[in-house]
Structure 1
Amino acid sequence: MRKRWIKIVLALVLVIGAIAAYYIIPIYNFASHISNKSDQDTVFNKEQDKKNPPPKWERTDRVNILVLGSDSRESNKNERPRSDSMIVLSIDPVTKKAAMMSILRDLYVKIPDHGENRINAALAFGGPNLAMKTASDLLDIPIQYYVYTDFEGFISLVDAIGGITLDVEKDMKWVDSADKHVYDIDLKKGVQHMDGKTALQYVRFRHDNLHNIGRSERQRKFISAVFDKMKSFSSIVKLPLILNKMEPYIQTNIQPDDMTKLASLALNVNTSDIQSVQIPPNNLYNDKRINGMAVVTSDKKKLQQYVQDVFSGKIAEEAKLKAEKEKEKQANQSGENKSKKK
């Protein structure tokens, strides 16, 4: 009987090991191929990559990853791209709590060795390392890693996971003749399943009263949906194929060992608990014109305190209380209206 149990345990260990290898090996190989692509022929040169080296992640402290989406495309392939989106993904490996902070691209900041400018210029001036350093100085947090992609990479990612379902909050239409109408936007309000090109329209739209504020919110909404889809059974089964399709379009400094650790950590994060915020928040947001540029300014010290409040859970708690009060107010108003009708 004892020998039988030993055989069963060994069989389970072998099965678990095989399943782990099925996922760990593709993730490790994926990271090996895409990490430090600056050593190859990319839009960022080696000199840029050597400057402003990021801090090392010790695996027990909070990890911060800067996701950079560039505006690089056919019409400006010979130009160094600016960042069309900058989102900091932050995870505490101890509590498994995560935050997603989108930095408005027109935020006027100090870029090391390049004076003051919109933050999206940091990528063009000095590559991902300078973008990380600029965001790190702004938020007063260490940023250890970056993940970079362009329009083609975005489309490939969405198509690789079989598309994404999103609720489009309004009709969205915009004509862009600069790229021979390749990136025109034409979406109808309502829930719909999107392929890569359609999803790109959704996250790029900013031609309404909310401009970049609305767009940054849509980008965070999209990332949450992708995160959910990647954790689904169908995506996990197809993980090697998904990574293979994404590989040509992704650049990062995440090393293979750290990527497997981060993948494991991400699976333990509850998507519904991820804090999703805008940098700067509306109460610290100011529109200005500086040197002829329309920019956004914010109090740096207050902004840094806001980030710490996000990490501590204070902002989430305040948002929860505000939502409860609003719900209670609406319920009271509904009760009053019913009484009046009687």
Structure 2
Amino acid sequence: MPLKKKKTAFRLIIILLAVVAFGLYYFLSIYKGLEGLNKTSSNSPFFEVMASDEKVVEPPKWLGTEPVNILLMGVDARGNKKGEIPRSDSMMVVSLDPVYKRIHVFSILRDTYTDIPDHGKNRINTAITHGPNTAMSAVSDLLGIPIQFYVYTDFQGFIKLVDAVGGVDFYVEKDMNYGSIADKHEYDINLKEGEQHLDGTTALQYVRFRHDALSDYARTKRQRDFINAIVEKMKSATSIMKLPSILKEVSPYMDTNMSVEDMWQLASVGYKSRVEASEQIPPMELLKETYVGSAAVLTVSSSRDLKEYVRNMIVAHEPDPAEGGGITQR
């Protein structure tokens, strides 16, 4: 072989080895990062409650072909003692259909008064204080759908995630201002109306703001809209390349019951899927504002109608060959 061809072949081999080495490092880094999200030892925020208090059965297994429902919980851990689980500041259910590649997002109003398995009736945001299985079971009973997985984080986890993806360009629909002396102004809200680039701190201000006429109703809508924006940002080539560093940043602040294999499979399905709709739970037409003692809570006028509402939202549709391409419910 001529010397020139030998040099060319050698360069190609070096390049190929470099690509293989980078690919191996990239995927091993991702695997390690994903593995760190599933905390089964004493570094789990639920270690104590799952070892002693939580008696709810394990969530149903996901086989990979049927719709899967994931409970997202964000908590405000300020002022909590070590090992103490705070109430949920926000709760969402992401319903993903791997066959039809559709995503539905439901945000649950935190003052919804409902059954907490083995703990009587209370606001839905108290369920997580008894452990993630209790929270999943309570939400499953409320919505009438199985909840297979949970993802749990606090304010710092949210800030780290948004910063790790490089922030998000987002339209803030109005001026938002709120100051809190109790927090020593650490979490004051000061946003101006208009298109802007939100980093982790300003994004947290946006999704937390509820000091207007619609209070939590408007806040849950903002949270769903921002989650959609984060999902789209995560699909970008830049975010995919940064995935190992993103996982390294958020891992200390997040916990989930997903295995690495579950996360790989869900990430693949989610990347190919689109957000079909996002809704508030309970919807306004089924919601009643009332009191339990002196506490203001939200109740559902008809549990059966709520479950039917959720089912109708997430039921998949497919072309009906008998009707020339119409749709039929599956």
Q: TM-score range by the shorter chain?
A: 0.7 to 0.9
Instruction: Give the match for residue 181 of structure 1.
Output: 185
1:66-77 mapped onto 2 (5 Å cutoff): 66-73=71-78, 75-77=79-81
- Segments of structure 1 that go 5 or more residues without pairing to the other structure are 1-10, 315-342
Return the alpha-carbon distance in structure 1 between the equivalents of residues 261 and 54 of structure 2: 20
- Cα RMSD of the aligned pairs, angstroms, is 2.3
Indicate how the Cα distance of structure 1 residues 250 and 288 shifts in structure 2: closer, same or farther if over 3 A, else same. Answer: same
Return the alpha-carbon distance in structure 2 between the equivalents of residues 19 and 94 of structure 1: 32
Q: CA deviation at 1:21?
A: 5.0
1:75-90 mapped onto 2 (5 Å cutoff): 75-78=79-82, 79-90=84-95
Indicate how the Cα distance of structure 1 residues 16 and 99 shifts in structure 2: closer, same or farther if over 3 A, else same. Answer: farther
Kindly indicate whether the alpha-carbon contact (under 8 Å) linking 1:287 and 1:297 is maintained by their aligned counterparts in 2: yes
Partner SS, residue 212 of structure 2: coil
Return the alpha-carbon distance in structure 2 between the equivalents of residues 99 and 118 of structure 1: 23
Q: CA deviation at 1:312?
A: 2.3
1:19-38 mapped onto 2 (5 Å cutoff): 21=24, 24-37=27-40
Amino acid at match of 2:143: L
Indicate how the Cα distance of structure 1 residues 262 and 115 shifts in structure 2: closer, same or farther if over 3 A, else same. Answer: same
Return the alpha-carbon distance in structure 2 between the equivalents of residues 23 and 274 of structure 1: 32
Indicate how the Cα distance of structure 1 residues 26 and 206 shifts in structure 2: closer, same or farther if over 3 A, else same. Answer: same
Residue from 306, 310, 328 that aligns with 1:307: 310
Q: CA deviation at 1:113?
A: 1.1
Amino acid at match of 1:42: P
Q: CA deviation at 1:127?
A: 1.6
Residue from 278, 281, 287 that aligns with 1:279: 281
Q: CA deviation at 1:39?
A: 4.0
Partner SS, residue 179 of structure 1: coil
Instruction: Give the match for residue 52 of structure 2.
Output: 47
Instruction: Give the match for residue 297 of structure 2.
Output: 295
Kindly indicate whether the alpha-carbon contact (under 8 Å) linking 2:153 and 2:253 is maintained by their aligned counterparts in 1: yes
Residue from 246, 249, 254 that aligns with 1:250: 254
Q: CA deviation at 1:77?
A: 3.7
Deviations 1:245-279 (A, max 9, x none): 11111111100111111111111112xx4311110
1:190-205 mapped onto 2 (5 Å cutoff): 190-205=194-209
Kindly indicate whether the alpha-carbon contact (under 8 Å) linking 2:58 and 2:133 is maintained by their aligned counterparts in 1: yes
Partner SS, residue 36 of structure 2: helix
Q: Does 1:156 align with 2:160?
A: yes
Partner SS, residue 156 of structure 1: helix
Return the alpha-carbon distance in structure 1 between the equivalents of residues 18 and 273 of structure 2: 25
Kindly indicate whether the alpha-carbon contact (under 8 Å) linking 2:45 and 2:85 is maintained by their aligned counterparts in 1: no
Q: CA deviation at 1:208?
A: 0.6
Return the alpha-carbon distance in structure 1 between the equivalents of residues 232 and 25 of structure 2: 21
Residue from 117, 121, 129 that aligns with 2:126: 121
Kindly indicate whether the alpha-carbon contact (under 8 Å) linking 1:64 and 1:89 is maintained by their aligned counterparts in 2: yes
Moved over 6 A (4+): 13-20
Return the alpha-carbon distance in structure 2 between the equivalents of residues 168 and 77 of structure 1: 34
Q: CA deviation at 1:28?
A: 2.4
Q: Does 1:110 align with 2:115?
A: yes
Residue from 169, 175, 198 that aligns with 1:171: 175
Q: TM-score, normalised by structure 2?
A: 0.85
Q: CA deviation at 1:173?
A: 0.9
Deviations 1:160-216 (A, max 9, x none): 111112111111111112211111111111111011111101000001111111000
Q: Which has the higher helix share?
A: 1
Return the alpha-carbon distance in structure 1 between the equivalents of residues 53 and 20 of structure 2: 41
Q: Does 1:259 align with 2:287?
A: no
> Aligned residue pairs: how many?
300
Residue from 202, 213, 216 that aligns with 1:212: 216
Q: Percent identity?
A: 50
Q: CA deviation at 1:37?
A: 3.9
Instruction: Give the match for residue 69 of structure 2.
Output: 64
Amino acid at match of 1:183: Y
- Segments of structure 2 that go 5 or more residues without pairing to the other structure are 1-12, 318-330
Indicate how the Cα distance of structure 1 residues 173 and 305 shifts in structure 2: closer, same or farther if over 3 A, else same. Answer: same
Kindly indicate whether the alpha-carbon contact (under 8 Å) linking 1:48 and 1:129 is maintained by their aligned counterparts in 2: no
Return the alpha-carbon distance in structure 1 between the equivalents of residues 68 and 37 of structure 2: 19
